[in-house]
A = this chain, B = another copy of it.
Amino acid sequence: MRFKFPLMALSLQVAMIILFGLFIHYETDQNLQQRLNTTTSTHKDRFFELYPLFQDVHVMIFVGFGFLMTFLKKYGFSSVGINLLIAALGLQWGTITQGILHSKGQQIHIGITNMINADFSTATVLISFGAVLGKTSPVQMLIMTILEIAVFAGNEYLVVEIFQASDTGASMVIHAFGAYFGLAAAGVLYRSGLRRGHDNEESVYHSDLFAMIGTLFLWMFWPSFNSAIAEPGNKQYRAIVNTYLSLAACVLTSYACSSLVEHRGKLDMVHIQNATLAGGVAVGTCADMEIHPYGSMLIGSIAGIISVFGYKFLTPLFATKLRIHDTCGVHNLHGLPGVVGGLAGIVTIAMKSSDMSQVAMQAAALGSSIGTAVVGGLITGLILRLPIWGQPPDEDCYDDAVYWEVPRRREHDDHFHEHSDYNQLEPDV
């Protein structure tokens, strides 16, 4: 950490400034009219129409993802702090990679859609961050940000421009992609020393409440996420309504299943924090389609059920059998529901249209999202495995104290808790 991290962060920022100097320009009325073949100036109107939706997405990225990961008792600084670092780098790099790929050789003019897409591209890294949370260094996360967003931009270009597939809410290109990228990397970075778990890999009461701040802001603003880049008008309207209803339905099935699978019917905070959001992921691909209100509720209900069962049964299985340890269970929140979303898109289009080529393209989009994610994740994992990035030793995993100045008091807490463990053996003390 001593010099590697500051040097890498500063160099990356210098590189970003140079790249922005070379490629990124303000949007002006002229270049917009030119591009849209219109003489009426709608650019600024559209900017301010979408700005509230952009801010909702922004809150999801920085507060939503950041606080969702604060559930670990000793890893809150890193969760919310490295989340901010990744996202701040990622949105600059995402603006450039996506800008260049979609610019068709023309100048890149930064508008509200670029800003929304930049936030989206950081989301993939933040999802993958969840899979390796507590087991990587800030330097490794900077590298992952650069590599993953480059692969994401490539796949997104393929899906949107070549396959011309529909994925408005990005179930495939963001959620499934981010999850499988992270899982592949987590597999390569597997630590057999931690196969029996780690004392720090648990929550305390208040860390679970901090995580609920993340959950709620993600839950509330997900309709904005799924509709932000939808076509204006009816499609954008439907993207909001469908996502809103899918999420509401998902809450009830998550709670029901959480109680069903847990000891004595109790609710589990892990499920409540995560599975309640699966409905937003799963309805993503067909968010703007005419799936009817009840259709979106059906998708959300199924997503909640799958997600809870994933947390209960798949995550332990992955850790023991596949040697993939998924700290936040991103497979259950983003992976499986993302695949469900992709499949729901295929079914919806197959039911509406007799043109099988469009169905094939949707399938290709799902396949390419998972495929590029796995390959990209494996390669990234191999690079991150090089023993030069300051990764934490096994015993220091899930502990902020490796990379952060932690208030003195924390150590006291630990003393106290050991102390009270001791007391527990002597019930009369």
Q: Which of A147-155, A349-357, A403-411 makes up part of the contact surface?
A: A403-411
Q: Answer whether residue A325 sits at the interface, using C-beta atoms and an 8 A cutoff.
A: no
A81: B residues at CB distance < 8 A: 212, 267, 269, 272
A and B contact pairs by CB, cutoff 8 A, 20 listed: A9-B252, A9-B253, A9-B255, A9-B256, A10-B256, A21-B293, A26-B290, A44-B237, A51-B240, A52-B52, A55-B56, A84-B216, A88-B248, A88-B249, A92-B297, A204-B409, A267-B404, A413-B420, A416-B420, A419-B420
Distance, CA A45 to CA B276, complexed state (A)? 30
A55 touches B210 (CB 8 A): no
Task: Give A279 Cβ to nearest chain B Cβ, in Å.
Answer: 10
Report the Cα distance A256→B269, complex, angstroms.
35
A110 touching B241 in the complex, CB below 8 Å, given contacts A203-B407, A204-B407, A415-B424: yes
Interface residues, chain A, CB within 8 Å of chain B? Answer: 1-3, 5-7, 9-10, 12-13, 16-18, 20-21, 24-29, 44, 47-49, 51-53, 55-56, 58-59, 62-63, 66-67, 70, 73, 76-77, 80-81, 84-85, 88-89, 91-92, 110, 115, 138, 202-210, 212-213, 216-217, 219-221, 224, 232-234, 236-238, 240-241, 244-245, 247-249, 251-253, 255-257, 259-260, 262-269, 272, 276, 290, 292-294, 297-298, 301, 403-413, 415-417, 419-421, 423-424, 429
Given contacts A292-B21, A429-B419, contact A16 B297 (CB under 8 A): yes
Known contacts: A20-B297, A293-B20. The answer to whether A217 contacts B63 by CB under 8 A is yes
Determine which of B234, B253, B276 lies in contact with A28 in the assembled complex, contact meaning CB atoms within 8 Å.
B234
Assess whether A216 is in contact with B66, with CB atoms less than 8 Å apart.
yes
Nearest Cβ in chain B — how far from A91, in angstroms?
Answer: 6
Closest B residue to A18 by beta carbon equals B294
When distances are taken between beta carbons in the complex, the residues of chain B under 8 Å from A241 are: 26, 110, 115
- Cα-based distance from A416 to B420 in the complex (angstroms): 6
Give chain B residues whose Cβ lies under 8 Å from the Cβ of A202. 407-409
- A420 engages B410 (CB within 8 Å): no
